[in-house]
Chain A
Amino acid sequence: MYLTLLHLQMNSNEHFAWPRNKMKIISAIVFASIFGSDALAWGSTGHRMITAEALRGLPTTSPSLLRSPEFVADAAEWAREPDRWRLSGTPHDEMRDVNHFAYADDDGRLGGGPVFTGLPATREAFAQAVRKAGGDPEQVGYLPYAILDAWQQVAKDFAYWRADRAGLKASRDPKALAWLEGDRRRRESQLAFDIGVLSHYVGDATQPMHLSIHHDGWGPGPNPDGFTQEKGHVAYEGAYTAKVATPEAVRAAMPAPRDLGPQALAVGAYLDAASKETRVWFAMEKAGAFKPGDDRGVRYTTARLATGAAMLRDMIAAAWTSSAAGQVNYPVVTVRDLESGRADAYLALHPAD
């Protein structure tokens, strides 16, 4: 079950309600953020916007559920959750915080080992490769695997949702129908949450400082271009983005839908391209592009958000398509057998074990 939006006062240009004293509060947050130390990736505005524009941009071949205002609103809020669950304590934070980033060296290697375009198949294999190269995987981060894991979960959710719907279409048993209806609604709520989580990590990747060792100021090491040492990560992704980004501009800047191909290759290529933006960002910062009134920074930030929204849109569309060939339960039953009526959805989804 997804939740119904309460009637918030909506600005016609923004999907989400802003408080009347928005600017006063922004000032307080900016002040706090500048003196904060944790990097959060995009702030609430960026994560909400990426989610909402991705869902709105889905092709009509995907379920209309995904484009409904209620679903979009819930998923957009839940896209904030991986930041909202920070500071929960040990071992929670150590297990989850490393999912937000993957710090590549200037030569594009992660901890001196793998590159984005040649990622090992699993998180454990990646960690071993980084350790073998002399790096510490906990310091490098696991963002590629967080994205892939969440993408596969969304595809699995779609497979179960298809199974529920197939059962509701075919069954005449009141007991089965009651259970399948409840399971379908529950799956829709879970789908919104899982898309929100996927969106968060896909969005993190388009923040130019989540994929580089230069994640908050250029930092130690060679700096021949004289890039800033100022810790501008939080101020850029948060207050600055909240001020300059609009849904309309992000929507207009989104590239056309495309077929992503194999998952690991698609994510690797996406991250590889995104990681090259770090140097671009620092160069623009040096040129003053992010100063008030400079349109270069606005266009750049809009393009980054649009890149994330388009990737998320295409990932959701691919997950929906692939779920037609998916499997549910254990022992496995194929979605094809359920949708064609060769297998009984209630028996498959509600096994007696």
Chain B
Amino acid sequence: MRLSWMRGLAAGIAAAAVLGAGTAASAWGADGHRMLTRVAIGALPPELPSFLTAPQAVWELGELAREPDRSKGAGQPHDADLDPGHYINVGDDGRIGGGPLLSELPKTRAECEAAVRAAGGEPSHLGYLPYAISDGWLQLVKDFGYWRVDRLGAETAADPEQRAWFQRDLKLREALILRDLGYWSHFVGDAAQPLHVSIHFNAWGDYPNPNSYTAERIHGPFEGAFVHAHVTEADIVRGLPPARTIEGPILAETGRYIEASRREAEPLFALWTRGGFAGDAPSAGKAFAAQRLAAGAGELRDLIVAAWAASPNATVGYPAVKVADVESGAQALPYAQMVGID
């Protein structure tokens, strides 16, 4: 019975994947997040675990990329706690609420909020996207760390009982990695939308406007209807930046990535004001939107690779055991810590 539904599911997913690939794309709405994540996964190098790039996994990851939007409206405190994770309203001076610079993010969310308050800002209105991205990346490193130990145990544990436990935990971890990666990819995607990282998050707003940029509320029309009409998954693939090795603290990388996106907010308003997103063939607008989505997909790809590279340094279980020590044989398989005999 289970095999039967597994076959049915695989067939259904394959059909959905084929159908999805053939449709014109959408944006940072449902299809936009879906496309960005699918492109990033499709560009992963072969050294990453193959379960990530299986057709079923790609389908699931694309759907999970929508999940932080799909769970909106669950009630309070759920929404008030989670919704600010989608954005960070950064000033034109690159500062959050007049306080921290993106290039000098305090090491915790609480410290950032305290710094904003000290500068006279109100952090609850400004969002915490850098910390949502950093938190999700660290979770992925941890997940990969568990996966490495599970895989080793599933292949090498001498005790059949322990080997069976590792095999089951490996399957659970793979399901959880898809969940964590897909869910987190939403926030990496959000950060590529310049209006998710700027005080000009909807319209230009009540700020000096010497260039007379449009007063329209362009956020939704840009990321939704425009991209739906004009950008395809192939456009994003064509615009992918070359792979880049990410090293150093995750918050520093997150700040750099968001600052680059923030700098695109004013060009977006300028282009919109010039009519770059109007008409039947708005080539400049299409290029801009595709470039932003490609920048997000490229960053997601590189962050996943960096998480995999960092995972030998992760620890698993309690008391903590370093993954690299288990893989090198310096530390015995930590079965007790993994199964949790407490």
Q: Do A and B bind each other?
A: yes
Chain A residues in contact with chain B, CB under 8 A? 1, 3-9, 17-20, 22, 25-26, 28-29, 32-33, 36, 38, 40, 43-45, 74, 77-78, 80-81, 83-92, 94-96, 121-124, 138, 145, 148-149, 152-153, 155-156, 160, 174-175, 177-179, 181-183, 185-186, 189-190, 193, 237-239, 241-242, 263, 327-330, 332, 350-353
Which segment, of B71-79, B93-101, B258-266, B280-288, faces chain A? B71-79
| Assembled-state Cα–Cα distance A176/B337 (Å) | 44
Given contacts A25-B336, A38-B318, A89-B138, contact A185 B9 (CB under 8 A): yes
Whether A44 lies near B29 (C-beta < 8 A) is no
Shortest A36–chain B CB gap in Å is 6
Q: Nearest residue in B to A351 (C-beta to C-beta)?
A: B30
Residue of A33, A78, A238 touching B172 (CB-CB under 8 A): A78
Residue of A122, A160, A332, A353 touching B30 (CB-CB under 8 A): A353
Whether A242 lies near B59 (C-beta < 8 A) is no
| Assembled-state Cα–Cα distance A77/B164 (Å) | 15
| Assembled-state Cα–Cα distance A124/B113 (Å) | 11
Chain B residues in contact with chain A, CB under 8 A? 2, 8-9, 11-13, 15-16, 19, 26-27, 29-32, 59-60, 63-64, 67, 69-78, 80-82, 107-110, 124, 131, 134-135, 138-139, 141-142, 146, 159, 161-162, 164-165, 167-169, 171-172, 175-176, 179, 224-225, 228, 250-251, 314-320, 335-336, 339-342
Shortest A159–chain B CB gap in Å is 9
Q: Nearest residue in B to A25 (C-beta to C-beta)?
A: B336
Shortest Cβ-Cβ A-B pairs, 4 listed: A44-B340, A353-B29, A43-B342, A238-B342
Give the interface SS of chain B, mostly helix, strand, loop or mixed. helix
| Assembled-state Cα–Cα distance A95/B129 (Å) | 13
Whether B172 lies near A182 (C-beta < 8 A) is no
| Assembled-state Cα–Cα distance A204/B319 (Å) | 19
Given contacts A3-B172, A148-B78, A353-B26, contact A329 B339 (CB under 8 A): no
Shortest B58–chain A CB gap in Å is 12
Whether A44 lies near B341 (C-beta < 8 A) is yes
Beyond A7-B164, A90-B108, A353-B26, 19 additional contacts (C-beta under 8 Å) are: A1-B175, A6-B167, A17-B161, A85-B142, A89-B250, A91-B109, A94-B108, A121-B76, A122-B76, A138-B110, A152-B77, A156-B70, A160-B70, A182-B59, A189-B179, A330-B72, A350-B30, A352-B26, A353-B228
14 sample A-B contacts, Cβ–Cβ < 8 Å, listed by A number: A6-B168, A7-B164, A19-B335, A84-B142, A90-B108, A121-B76, A124-B80, A175-B15, A179-B19, A181-B12, A183-B63, A186-B63, A327-B73, A353-B29
Whether A123 lies near B8 (C-beta < 8 A) is no
Q: Chain B contacts of A45 at CB under 8 A?
A: 340, 342
Q: Nearest residue in A to B107 (C-beta to C-beta)?
A: A90
Shortest A287–chain B CB gap in Å is 24
Q: Chain A contacts of B250 at CB under 8 A?
A: 89
Q: Chain A contacts of B317 at CB under 8 A?
A: 84
Shortest A17–chain B CB gap in Å is 7
